[in-house]
Structure 1
């Protein structure tokens, strides 16, 4: 089934994702498209299962008639709500991803301790040839002489892969730092008792978050061996005065021209721009899909009613009350909507969880009141659309609708 295949593909790439951004985008896009196709394929089956379940537990005539028709032709029952179900899936996945990013980056401006830092990293990536072979003692002395300077650590490249771990097929290689220097920047964490060299996750150094309680594992190398390795990151902390941070950034920019020296504000401004772009994309998705899905629902319900006006007219002539027929029509539309919407919402959460785990290593966070309010409004509006079509039943099921020709 495409739904299982799509979630399976997303799950596969959560553990084994391609190394390039383009390949990852193609993989996730394929997975999400398969999930949406799976929802469309699974919708009629779920509609039929729900109808049969309700039929076993009800004795009301309207419910029995509606459930019998849905059980006999679940595709027709699901067709009217297919657009809204897909909109709910897209909405759930989009807002879940957005809310999780917001929750994990509530410090897009950087944690207070991180805002005191100035960090220099290579512009050309982690390749050995692009890294500084060493930081001259004179540069270190000039940095320490800056008024407001508090501490500095040199985080070294790790070509031997000491302390490396795996995340799926991705090999995560930490940077190495002497514990005597790591103690000068406690915002990054600390060494284990008695350790001389620590293996530190590069991402945790550059994520704008404070990790003072993080105890990094020791690395089986000597301080002298680490000092001979190229420098991957220069991390300095200040008293948070603008003058100190600007002087250090200027010093690192001049002395390390192949490196990019930035403060937390620089990273956060880039993050804010990206997040703002994602928010606009989410707004566009919501403002586009929900109205289209609502219009699709209205057209489908009216078209279905028009196609069945003769059977409904004959039921009215046979003595069936109009209110009974309206309840039949309402149940036929509402049951697929509610049953398959639950599947779409759950699938949206699952797809968002797999994406966040693989791309950002975040745990899914509840979307919050805005999502639940929007979902409730969407479902309520859909039920209102269904209810608004019921008065048509009286107008198009008169005796003239039974005549032949």
Structure 2
């Protein structure tokens, strides 16, 4: 019997006329979009973990007697970070760096594809001279965090590599656990949860399309002898069929656009397409979970049919929502407030605190939505001065759950958007690139780990021979302030005029060590204090840093870097200009901004689609009441106003609540996680909200032609 019922349900789903086929296509399309976004979210989490795992292979664990010397250092080129790995083999069992076929020997190196492109595109004096020797080939994807990674693996002698900063002996490479990127993992977890709710609402809304019409059809089947279980089976099969088709299309969309999605720098750098992968459990969760969820939604939507065969005719005004529906949202806020005093030290622990709090707020908004809709409807009814306004207000007050269902996706979209924009805008404001003054824009600084006692005259000659170099100064350590390392010493004659002048009678002056803060204090009018040392004493002190002033041109800066690196190869961090360090984090911030844009677009798109499906479903389910209103003399324009007000008024009413709760959640998250205070979103956020709401109003307007077609006199007669 069960096989017969399933076969009958399949035939009914595809042979029920144009209305049934349209419903099937709409549900399948909704499920395709929703399942595709779920797959992208899961693949994004997997890609981030893969990226972090490969990043960890660049920093292998040290072993006291390892047969391979290893030193990882940072260099820069035109604001981009270059990772330089120096290696030297000391035994036959030495491991091979990940991504290359063999460990390079002295005078040999491998380069990543992106670095090789830079080497070929620029003069050797700007970059290639930093890697003298034989080019052995390309570092493969297994050894790179991203297609854009600039990485060089350089061979050397054991004595030379052992003397480098951060040198270590290693026994194995590539088995280091993934580095814990707390903030990235936490934000991705919040994004995944934030997208999950709109996706599920979209799928549930589409599954409920024409629920009233289907209830009547199934009630008729009950009257002719069908059991509740058979009706439930028919409903589940009908929805699951569309969900299976939509899920298959969702998988197709994911794999079709996986390469494009991998190129979006969500974490500050793009992914390899292969990183956007799905595990077996991910595939099973979506392939089985989405159709199962659609079937459950179908059973819930037809609960009145299970009461009795005449259940759908007993339509009474449902009980009005109560204010206690606000409790879940307030509980979510309480969880985030409690997190202010308790911040777990691990990423998983923080996710376990923050993510449930945010999800609880989102669930609370859905639960409280009908009550908010009812309050807004009663206010609208009190001040109604037109028939359309009064009808819409009474209909909303009579069944606020149905009215809120149409705009629940929009509410969650605005909440997720507010959280994403609030968090990322504040991080960018707090940790974005520091402003660089005009004086220091072209200043190249290198701080020595091994302090030389002198700088060869040939180095100064090579630097001054570079077009665009204005000055070259060696800063020596102050023996009285070595521990703090904040003040250095230079000869007064070596002070560039752009950085001020010496105190009266001074031959040696004190300056900021490394010139790292000259952009804050230096100008042509600055007077630097005299030091209690003679020029002879100064020459005996170790050199702590070199500062080279240039005209700021890229060619001059990169040629200076190359000269300094060749002359002083034992650097830990390569010669840099103001903004190099900040540019690394700026790339990450740019990735987070991209992530916020994706969340905004996806959330508003899902909310708009849910609204469209809800409005269309409401029109088809209420065609008889609207047809009777037309027969009684109500103009079509009045009915259009009713439909518009039923969706627009609740949508505008919950906008303020959703945005306010989103910004509050963002503030609590920032205070607990990073100690930041929420920064007001930029004007573009208001533009996004206005444009999003205008698009939703456009969606409502686009359904109006359907109203006239489905509410003709023939509809009332056929019913």
Settle same-fold status: TM greater than 0.5.
Answer: yes
Q: Aligned pair in 2 of structure 1 residues 25, 117: CA closer, same or farther (>3 Å)?
A: farther
SS of structure 2 residue aligned to 1:366: coil
Aligned position for 1:20:
346
Q: CA deviation at 1:298?
A: 0.7
SS of structure 2 residue aligned to 1:342: helix
Q: Higher relative CO (CA 8 A, sep ≥ 6), structure 1 or 2?
A: 1
Map 1:100-139 → 2, pairs under 5 A: 100-108=426-434
Given the alignment of the two structures, is residue 331 of structure 1 paired with residue 645 of structure 2, yes or no? yes
CA offset digits 1:213-247 (Å, max 9, x no partner): xxxxxxxxxxxxxxxxxxxxxx9795767799999
Q: 1:348 aligns with which of 654, 662, 665?
A: 662
Q: Aligned pair in 2 of structure 1 residues 305, 364: CA closer, same or farther (>3 Å)?
A: same
Q: Aligned pair in 2 of structure 1 residues 210, 356: CA closer, same or farther (>3 Å)?
A: farther
CA offset digits 1:348-396 (Å, max 9, x no partner): 1112222222333333223223221111111001111112212322211
Q: 2:409 aligns with which of 83, 87, 97?
A: 83
Consecutive unaligned residues of structure 2, counting only runs of 5 or more, are 1-326, 461-471, 489-515, 522-543, 551-556
Q: Aligned pair in 2 of structure 1 residues 118, 376: CA closer, same or farther (>3 Å)?
A: same
Aligned position for 1:375:
689
Q: 1:70 aligns with which of 391, 396, 417?
A: 396
Q: Aligned pair in 2 of structure 1 residues 262, 179: CA closer, same or farther (>3 Å)?
A: closer
Q: CA deviation at 1:58?
A: 2.2
Q: Aligned pair in 2 of structure 1 residues 392, 273: CA closer, same or farther (>3 Å)?
A: same
C-alpha root-mean-square deviation of aligned residues, in Å? Answer: 4.1
Aligned position for 2:372:
46
Q: Partners in 1 of 2:635 and 2:708 — Cα distance? A: 11
Given the alignment of the two structures, is residue 272 of structure 1 paired with residue 272 of structure 2, yes or no? no
Q: Partners in 2 of 1:46 and 1:338 — Cα distance? A: 11
Indicate if the aligned counterparts of 2:433 and 2:583 stay in contact, CA closer than 8 A: no
Q: Aligned pair in 2 of structure 1 residues 320, 21: CA closer, same or farther (>3 Å)?
A: same
Given the alignment of the two structures, is residue 319 of structure 1 paired with residue 633 of structure 2, yes or no? yes
Aligned position for 1:384:
698
Aligned length: 323
Consecutive unaligned residues of structure 1, counting only runs of 5 or more, are 121-134, 157-175, 182-205, 213-234
Q: CA deviation at 1:141?
A: 9.8
Q: CA deviation at 1:19?
A: 1.7
Q: Aligned pair in 2 of structure 1 residues 249, 54: CA closer, same or farther (>3 Å)?
A: farther
Aligned position for 2:332:
6
SS of structure 2 residue aligned to 1:327: helix
Q: Partners in 1 of 2:347 and 2:714 — Cα distance? A: 63
Aligned position for 1:148:
473
Taking structure 1 as the reference length, the TM-score comes to 0.66
Q: Partners in 2 of 1:151 and 1:362 — Cα distance? A: 38
Aligned position for 2:382:
56
Q: Partners in 1 of 2:370 and 2:568 — Cα distance? A: 63
CA offset digits 1:239-288 (Å, max 9, x no partner): 76779999999999959x8x999875453232022112212212222232
Map 1:111-260 → 2, pairs under 5 A: 148-149=473-474
Given the alignment of the two structures, is residue 288 of structure 1 paired with residue 602 of structure 2, yes or no? yes
Indicate if the aligned counterparts of 1:152 and 1:237 stay in contact, CA closer than 8 A: no
Taking structure 2 as the reference length, the TM-score comes to 0.39
